[in-house]
Amino acid sequence: MRSDPLFYVVAAASFAVLVILMIGIAGFGRGGEFNRKHANKLMRLRIAAQAVAIALILLFVYLRRGG
């Protein structure tokens, strides 16, 4: 599995979702100007990144099963 380059792309996409989520949670926790300015943008970015990550995971599973 680790020899497949798509595995690393899926891992990077999942990590990107995690980073965006952590930035959003930290901004929400601190509040203030950053949260007011960037909260909605971060939420939209996380949802888009999550959709890409899910699509890549499904592609990875499909290709690994011999589809």
One-letter-per-residue 3-state SS of 30-54: HCHHHHHHHHHHHHHHHHHHHHHHH
The confidence score (pLDDT) of residue 57 equals: 97
Please tell me the pTM assigned to this model. 0.86
Domain positions in the chain: 1-30, 32-66
Residue for token digits 């943008």?
Answer: 41
The confidence score (pLDDT) of residue 66 equals: 85
Q: Profile the chain (67 residues) by mean pLDDT over runs of 10 residues.
A: 89 97 94 91 96 97 88
